[in-house]
């Protein structure tokens, strides 16, 4: 019995020291045993009382931290908490990078109508310029894997986040169509590399935790998008010049990204992965990556359409004021944030496939109803429902791709990211052409179609 010496009579001999504060290795291995409660009745040592006080404090802190960051608790066969303090700091650092990335892109979205007017662009011209964002991501997307292998995910995520924030200044200074297209092209290229680096490092931290936390990272991205979208809407309402608004955003976001550097995990990105035998990729593996890429593309179409055309649709088709026009994207991101912070818990209970199917139905019904009965409130509600619907789909697709055999860390994510960005590339011009030929309301039908595709492809996710 581990604590049988507690019940023995007192003697002059020196008793062996009792440790009630085991190190993290003992706790993870499950070798810790509590002192028997009956010993408190006759010989209550101070260390026993301290052990129970320490346990209560740790439980309270775990509960509070889980509420803030979005824990879902331990899964089956997974430890309750991280076994050291390093992953906690790394988790907060990765969450910060996701927030910066979301705020960077969302800062520009509410100013698209002003860019369209300032450069005298048609709907098709604006859509083509926005499409260069996806084109840049395609060019750089497949380079993300080799870049991560050369410089590690931590350095790449921080460095490219700073460059992406700086590119906001070029977007604000664009005076001609080609300048806007070039700035958006570089933004897409940088975002593709940052996307793979952040997710690869986030999944590395998740392996340290031993439970699902990846949805909370994407929740922080949505939270950052809300902050950036609100800031952009307020700047548009106040008629703040684009260079001033985007230049200030670049300085703040760069500083925040740099502060996260020292808290990211050191070492090689494959350190936490299971050692698996390497083999040549099979045809079935390529099909799995393609299916996951199409699933993520359908979810990205919902987000991208709200970002690219939501403000234009609200202003030109529904007559919304500039301060209200950008709220379509904000509403989608707000609902998506709620869905992502609760996503780990929902996935643990119902499974990835069921949650994805319900999400696809939500997109189909929400935006479909908003297009059938067009109004400002209905549009905001419809896109909010769609944002909740796609909340967990891209994180689930990335996680499934990163766990495929025969691939190094980040390689599966890079391929899936490239495939879904290829699908997104065609969406803005198609919507713009339909808007010029018929109406923007007809062009937005692509969103409910994407919801139906999500329902069909959800079976490609693990249960």
User: In order of start, what are the domains of the chain with their CATH numbers?
Assistant: 87-266+281-460 (1.20.1250.20)
Are the C-beta atoms of 450 and 367 separated by less than 8 Å?
no
Taking the C-alpha atoms of residue 225 and residue 332, their distance in angstroms, rounded to an integer, is 10
CB 340 within 8 A of CB 353: no
Give the pLDDT of residue 16.
Answer: 45
Nearest Cα to Cα of residue 22 among 60, 56, 55 = 55
The tens-digit pLDDT sequence of the chain (463 residues) is 444 444 444 444 444 444 434 444 444 455 444 444 444 444 444 444 444 444 444 444 343 334 333 443 444 434 444 444 458 888 999 999 999 999 998 888 888 888 888 888 888 888 888 888 888 888 888 788 788 878 888 899 999 999 999 999 999 899 899 999 999 999 999 998 999 899 989 888 888 887 778 888 988 988 898 899 889 989 988 888 999 999 999 999 999 999 998 898 887 666 555 555 555 557 778 888 888 999 999 999 998 888 888 888 888 888 888 778 888 888 998 898 899 888 888 888 888 889 999 999 999 999 999 999 989 999 999 999 999 999 999 988 888 887 777 676 667 888 888 888 887 777 878 888 888 888 889 999 999 999 999 999 988 887 7
Whole-angstrom distance, CA of residue 451 vs CA of residue 33: 51
d(C-alpha 395, C-alpha 325), whole Å: 28
Q: Give residue 421's pLDDT.
A: 80
Q: What is the pLDDT of residue 137?
A: 85
pLDDT of 281 reads: 56
Nearest to 229 by CA among 325, 313, 137: 325
Separation between Cα atoms, residue 338 and residue 389, nearest integer Å? 11
Give the whole-angstrom CA distance, residue 343 versus residue 359: 11
Question: For residue 17, what pLDDT is reported?
Answer: 45
d(CA 444, CA 373): 13
Q: What is the pLDDT of residue 5?
A: 44
- What pLDDT is attached to residue 370? 93
* Predicted structure pTM score: 0.68
Q: What is the pLDDT of residue 22?
A: 45
pLDDT at position 400 is 84
């Amino acid at each position: 019995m581990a604590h049988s010496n507690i019940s023995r009579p007192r003697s002059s001999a020196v008793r062996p020291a009792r440790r009630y504060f085991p190190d993290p290795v003992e706790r993870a291995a499950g070798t810790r045993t509590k002192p028997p409660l009956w010993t408190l009745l006759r010989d209550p040592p101070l260390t026993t009382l301290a052990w129970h006080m320490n346990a209560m404090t740790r439980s309270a802190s775990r509960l509070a931290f889980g509420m803030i960051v979005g824990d879902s608790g331990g899964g089956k066969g997974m430890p309750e908490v991280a076994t050291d303090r390093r992953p906690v700091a790394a988790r907060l650092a990765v969450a910060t990078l996701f927030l910066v990335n979301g705020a960077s892109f969302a800062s520009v979205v509410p100013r698209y109508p002003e860019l369209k007017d300032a450069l005298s662009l048609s709907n098709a011209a604006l859509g083509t310029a926005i499409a260069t964002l996806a084109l840049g991501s395609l060019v750089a997307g497949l380079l993300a894997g080799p870049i991560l292998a050369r410089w590690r995910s931590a350095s790449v995520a921080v460095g490219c986040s700073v460059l992406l924030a700086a590119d906001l200044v070029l977007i604000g200074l664009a005076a001609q169509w080609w300048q806007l297209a070039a700035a958006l092209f570089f933004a897409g290229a940088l975002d593709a590399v940052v996307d793979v680096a952040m997710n690869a490092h986030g999944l590395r931290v998740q392996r340290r935790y031993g439970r699902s936390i990846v949805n909370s990272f994407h929740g922080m991205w949505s939270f950052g998008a809300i902050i950036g979208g609100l800031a952009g809407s307020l700047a548009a309402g106040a008629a703040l010049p684009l260079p001033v608004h985007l230049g200030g955003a670049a300085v703040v976001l760069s500083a925040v990204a740099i502060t996260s550097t020292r808290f990211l995990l050191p070492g090689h990105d494959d350190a936490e992965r299971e050692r698996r035998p390497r083999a040549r990729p099979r045809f079935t593996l390529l099909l799995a990556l393609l299916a996951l890429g199409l699933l993520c593309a359908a979810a990205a179409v919902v987000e991208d359409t709200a970002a690219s055309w939501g403000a234009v649709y609200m202003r030109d088709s529904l007559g919304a004021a500039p301060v209200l026009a950008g709220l379509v994207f904000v509403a989608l991101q707000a609902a998506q944030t709620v869905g992502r912070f609760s996503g780990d818990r929902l996935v643990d209970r119902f499974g990835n496939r069921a949650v994805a199917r319900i999400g696809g139905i939500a997109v189909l019904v929400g935006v479909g109803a908003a297009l059938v009965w067009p109004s400002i409130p209905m549009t905001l509600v419809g896109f909010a429902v769609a944002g909740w619907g796609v909340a967990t789909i891209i994180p689930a697709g990335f996680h499934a791709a990163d766990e495929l055999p025969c691939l190094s860390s980040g390689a599966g994510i890079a391929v899936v990211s490239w495939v879904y960005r290829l699908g997104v590339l065609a969406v803005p011009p198609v919507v713009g052409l339909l808007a010029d030929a018929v109406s923007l309301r007809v062009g937005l039908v692509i969103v409910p179609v994407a919801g139906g595709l999500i329902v069909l492809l959800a079976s490609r996710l693990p249960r």
